[in-house]
Amino acid sequence: MGRHNDKSIKEVLGEYIQTNKRVSKGYHTAQIEEIWKEQMGPIISGYTQKIYFNDGILRVYLTSAPLKKELLMGKSKIIQIINEVVKEELITQVEIY
């Protein structure tokens, strides 16, 4: 006798994250922080003080004014890179501080 509602752990966790807004926010923030470190490299990550993600807005706090100016010009590229890695349109706006 076969089971009708067999789901993988990945599917169950995915559904749980999507339906629970608080868990989803924390999960996506952690995920984006890791992607930021991987995609931006050690130099930019070293100047990154904090990253916040909420309601599609990624807020990045930096310790370098020249780097801040550089990243302000590449906001659309940052959005594209992170959204491609997560394979969904999570980020709609980037704010650099």
Confirm whether pTM is higher than 0.85: no
Distance in angstroms (rounded) separating the CA atoms of residues 46 and 28: 21
Report d(CA 67, CA 61) in Å as an integer: 11
Q: What is the C-alpha to C-alpha distance for residues 30 and 51, in angstroms, rounded to an integer?
A: 9
- For residue 11, the model assigns a pLDDT of 84
Q: Work out the pLDDT band at 34, boundaries 50, 70, 90.
A: very high
Could you give the CA distance from residue 3 to residue 67 in angstroms, rounded to a whole number?
55
Mean pLDDT on 18-36: 84
Q: Which CATH class for the 9-96 domain?
A: alpha beta
Q: What average pLDDT is seen over the chain? A: 89
Q: Are 94 and 60 in contact (CB under 8 A)?
A: yes
91-95 mean pLDDT = 96
Kindly provide the residue ranges of all beta strands, DSSP E only, lying in the chain, ordered along the sequence: 48-54, 57-62, 93-96
Q: What is the rounded CA–CA span in Å between residue 90 and residue 73?
A: 20
